[in-house]
């Protein structure tokens, strides 16, 4: 009889085991809540999720050219065809100056940073809405999503930059030590694209008409930047307004670094200060709105 009693006790314990396992804990094991610090970027959190940034960037690159006939060639075709059309239409027009450099080089050197900026801002501005299923399921720093969209645009920038090399050899543009400033220009235009794209992506979650207004604003911004014309052709108030555009100093000094002209330090300093200020403000505004993304997206 003793063994029977022991077996019944064991079976009784086994029967009650599922009930004990299935019962939830009295207190939550992990609590996720927004940070209360004023610091706009959680660098430690971003470093912890650096692999996610890499995979999201690679995902955006693959999705962009999935099931396309020409694939990554579109990254080259867009600025190249625009440069050809601008050269045919504006190269010989009076009043259009190319700062004593061949107009194709002048136009393409302006289109390179602009094309990257425009595509990166558009992609990052729509990135949060396009990743709604990811945002509502798992936790990670949301800033990684617009950052990945901007980083994916750098791949297109590198491909389109390859076209500039034979153009410079064809027009016999000599290489100078000013090329050392090119990484600085790329960092500035990347930071500016991230600042604008990050802010637009946060606003797009709450106001969905941002996706319709953004292409229109980008189109107007093209004509307000010295891409197909030189900033020296403007005078008075128009030139002051143009200098308030942070892209002006970046594009002008991007050309100067390529062809070995004198760097325009005043406009470069203003563009760098504007980019840094916009980056800090956008990161702060993004973090303030981040806690509502999962509810609104």
Q: pLDDT per residue over 99-124, tens digit each?
A: 778 899 999 999 999 999 999 999 99
More confident residue, 98 or 164: 164
Residue 238 counted as domain residue: yes
How far is it, in rounded angstroms, from Cα 153 to Cα 182? 17
The CA distance from 193 to 197, in Å, is 6
When mean pLDDT is compared across 110-114, 180-184, 203-207, the lowest value belongs to 203-207
Higher pLDDT, 69 or 171: 171
* Radius of gyration from C-alpha coordinates of the chain: 26
| Residue 233 counted as domain residue | yes
Q: Say if 35 falls within a structural domain.
A: no
* 115 to 144, 146, 199, 275: CA distances (angstroms): 22, 17, 19, 18
- The candidate with the shortest Cα–Cα distance to 222, out of 142, 110, 98, is 110
Question: What does the block give as tokens for 112?
Answer: 């390179």
Residue 227 lies in a domain: yes
Whether residue 4 has pLDDT greater than 80? no
Note the pLDDT of residue 73: 82
Does the pLDDT of residue 9 top 50, yes or no? Answer: no
Number of H helices, E strands in the chain: 14, 0
The per-residue pLDDT for 231 is: 83
- Per-residue DSSP letter, 126: T
9 assigned to some structural domain: no
pLDDT over threshold 60, residue 22: no
With bands split at pLDDT 50, 70 and 90, how would you rate the model's confidence at 29?
Answer: low
Residue 278 has pLDDT above 90, yes or no: yes
- For residue 90, pLDDT over 60 is answered with yes
Give domain status of residue 1, yes or no: no
pLDDT for residue 280: 92
- What's the length of the chain? 297
Provide the residue range defining the domain that includes 101: 41-296
pLDDT for residue 32: 54
* pLDDT for the residue 240: 83
Domain-located, residue 24: no
Q: Is the pLDDT of residue 297 over 80?
A: no
DSSP 175: P
Report yes or no: 122 and 39 within 8 Å, Cβ to Cβ: no
Tokens, residue 242: 């143009």
Q: Which residues contact 156 (CB under 8 A, 6 or more apart)?
A: 72, 75, 115, 116, 119
Neighbours of 178 (CB within 10 A): 16
User: For residue 13, is pLDDT > 60?
Assistant: no
Structurally, how many domains does the chain consist of? 1
Tokens matching residue 70: 């020409």
Nearest CA to 286 among 278, 72, 61? 278
133-142, 164-173, 245-254: the lowest-pLDDT one: 133-142
**Is the pLDDT assigned to residue 130 strictly greater than 70?**
yes
Residue 18 lies in a domain: no
Which of 57-61, 93-97, 137-141 shows the lowest per-residue confidence on average (mean pLDDT)? 93-97
Judge whether 243 and 270 are in contact, CB under 8 Å.
yes
């Amino acid at each position: 009889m003793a063994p029977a009693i022991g077996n019944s006790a064991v079976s009784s314990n086994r029967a009650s085991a599922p009930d004990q396992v299935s019962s939830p804990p009295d207190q939550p094991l992990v609590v996720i809540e927004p940070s209360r610090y004023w610091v706009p970027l959680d660098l430690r959190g971003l470093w912890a999720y650096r692999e996610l940034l890499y995979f999201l960037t690679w995902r955006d690159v693959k999705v962009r050219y999935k099931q396309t006939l020409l694939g990554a060639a579109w990254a080259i075709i867009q600025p190249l065809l625009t440069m050809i059309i601008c050269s045919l239409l504006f190269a010989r027009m009076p009043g259009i100056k190319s700062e004593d450099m061949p107009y194709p080089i002048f136009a393409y050197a302006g289109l390179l940073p602009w094309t990257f900026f425009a595509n990166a801002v558009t992609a990052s501005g729509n990135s949060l809405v396009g990743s709604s299923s990811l945002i509502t399921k798992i936790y990670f720093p949301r800033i990684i999503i617009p950052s990945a969209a901007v980083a994916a645009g750098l791949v297109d920038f590198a491909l389109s930059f390859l076209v500039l090399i034979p153009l410079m050899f064809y027009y016999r543009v000599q290489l100078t030590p000013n090329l050392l400033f090119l990484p600085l220009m790329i960092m500035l235009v990347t930071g500016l694209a991230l600042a604008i794209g990050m802010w637009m992506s946060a606003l797009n979650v709450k106001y969905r008409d941002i996706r319709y207004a953004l292409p229109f604003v980008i189109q107007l911004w093209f004509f307000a930047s010295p891409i197909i014309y030189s900033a020296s052709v403007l005078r008075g108030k128009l030139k002051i307004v143009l200098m308030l555009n942070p892209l002006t100093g970046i594009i002008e000094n991007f050309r100067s670094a390529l062809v070995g002209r004198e760097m325009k330090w005043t406009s470069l300093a203003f563009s760098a200060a504007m980019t840094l200020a916009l980056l800090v403000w956008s990161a702060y505004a993004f973090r303030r709105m981040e806690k509502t993304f999962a509810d609104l997206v």
